[in-house]
Amino acid sequence: MLKDLGYFSVKNDWTLIYNGTEPEFFVVRETMSEKNGKTLLVTGGAGFIGSNFINFIHKRYPNYKILLLDALTYAGNLDNIPTSLKSNGHFQFHHGNITHPDIVNKLVSESDIVVHFAAESHVTRSIYDNAIFFETDVIGTQVVANAIVNNPVELFVHISSSEVYGTALTDPMDEEHPLNPMSPYAAAKAGADRLIYSYVKTYDLPAIIIRPFNNYGPCQHLEKAIPNFIVSALQDQPLTIHGNGESSRDWMFVEDTCEALDRVLHVERDRVIGQTINLGTGTDTSVVEIARRILKLMNKPESLLQFIEDRPGQVTRHISSVDKSHEYLDWQSKVGLDEGLKRTIEFYQNNPKWWERIMWMKELWAPKG
């Protein structure tokens, strides 16, 4: 029982309710009026998807207060947050690590909703140096989840990943697909994903688990395939493709993910809490086809394609079922691949300063042979 574990701290604006049929107490926060807006804690919001999400939510709900907690690892960049928002009373940045309970507890206690993006996120890095993946992605998630058990919020959105599934055993892959993580990154994300599931069952954590498929768009680190290809093409450098490039992914423009997360925040809570939902487009495209499309959209020759040795731990196919996201969120992706790629190319063409500072990380060191 939660109360016996001493997890509760009851504050003035909380109501303690005794459920007469079971020996458990439930703590319910009084609903904030929409007029006052919500306070959202966003972990990892200086990274790619998190910063797009913050900007999206701020534009659509300017009265929401956003607390950003980010350790600013190599993947975080506060320039991803517009100056107008940073200097706005509705935004606070907290520089800190999700594995540190003090700061996480404090910020969770000030929040109505927590959206948890913070993670080490790169498959290839996890192959060569994986301890930090388990520290951040699993232990960090445990710290955030414990903070919510101590300081209940309305909703906890856990950002998991399609990588937890491994290679597609079915076409499409629905939420019941077996979890066969194939890289340490995927294993860490699967650990965090199941940890949250267990907290829903054990502690009634008001969580929803979201499994996005491969996102792309503005502000994505050059270590990821699409920005890597675009920046190579901008510099007339080879686009290096691992293996034969035939492995395929369900590529989704990040704005579609933000739109879906907006739905997660605003659909009827009881319907989504405890659910696990994929976010994808329902189509897959091979890596080599993505590279060809980028070259075509940028008027560059296919002779820039260069095939190199394959990497271990890569899935060969990912394709999302879109049924559950449609049913529960009344959402489907809108941005087609060519439009999304065009908008992503424009970002890298127009913002060389954004990516020049991380050019040295474009090619990841890996042991040879």
Contacts with ligand NAD by CB under 6 A lie at 43-44, 46-50, 70-73, 75-76, 97-99, 117-121, 136, 140, 159, 161-162, 189, 212, 214-215, 221
Backbone angles phi, psi at 52, to 5 degrees: -60, -40
Of all helices (H) and strands (E), which one includes residue 148? helix 141-150
Is the distance from CB of 99 to CB of 74 less than 8 angstroms?
no
Question: For tokens 């890298």, what's the residue?
Answer: 348
CB 222 → ligand NAD: shortest distance, Å?
Answer: 11
Cβ at position 193, least distance to ligand NAD in Å: 10
User: In the complex with ligand NAD, which residue's Cβ is closer, 44 or 166?
Assistant: 44
Token representation of residue 121? 């996120």
* Closest CB to ligand NAD among residues 49, 66: 49
Closest to ligand NAD by CB, 155 vs 159, is 159
Residues with Cβ within 8 Å of 369's Cβ and at least 6 positions away in sequence, in order, are none
| Residue linked to tokens 């959206």 | 115
- Tell the smallest beta-carbon distance from residue 7 to ligand NAD (Å): 22
- 3-state DSSP assignment of residue 348: helix
- Residue number, 121 or 146, with CB nearest to ligand NAD: 121
Mind giving me the DSSP string for 94-155? EE--TT-HHHHHHHHHT-SEEEE--S---HHHHHH--HHHIIIIIIIHHHHHHHHHHS--SE
Closest separation between CB of residue 166 and ligand NAD, Å? 14
Distance of CA 152 to the CA centre of its chain: 22
Radius of gyration of the chain (CA): 21
In the complex with ligand NAD, the residue whose CB is nearer, 44 or 304, is 44
Residue of this chain nearest to ligand NAD (CB atom)? 47
The token duo for 34 is 């929409």
Q: Tell me how far, at minimum, the Cβ of 223 lies from ligand NAD, in Å.
A: 9
Report the residue number, 224 or 304, with the smaller CB distance to ligand NAD: 224
Could you give the 3-state DSSP secondary structure of residue 358? coil
**At closest approach, how far in Å is the CB of 247 from ligand NAD?**
15
Nearest-angstrom CA–CA distance, 34 and 104:
25
End-to-end CA distance of the chain: 53
Q: Which is nearer to ligand NAD, 162 or 321 (CB)?
A: 162
Give the nearest distance from C-beta 178 to ligand NAD in angstroms.
Answer: 18
- 82 vs 238, beta carbon nearer ligand NAD: 82
Cross-strand pairs, 159: 210
220: which 2 tokens? Answer: 């994505």
- Closest approach of ligand NAD to the CB of residue 15, in Å: 32
- The three-class DSSP label of residue 181 is coil
**Calpha distance 226→232 (Å, rounded):** 10
Rounded to 5 degrees, what angle do the CA atoms 279, 149, 108 make? 75
Beta carbon of residue 118, minimum distance to ligand NAD (angstroms, whole number): 4
Return the number of the residue (99 or 344) whose C-beta is nearest ligand NAD: 99
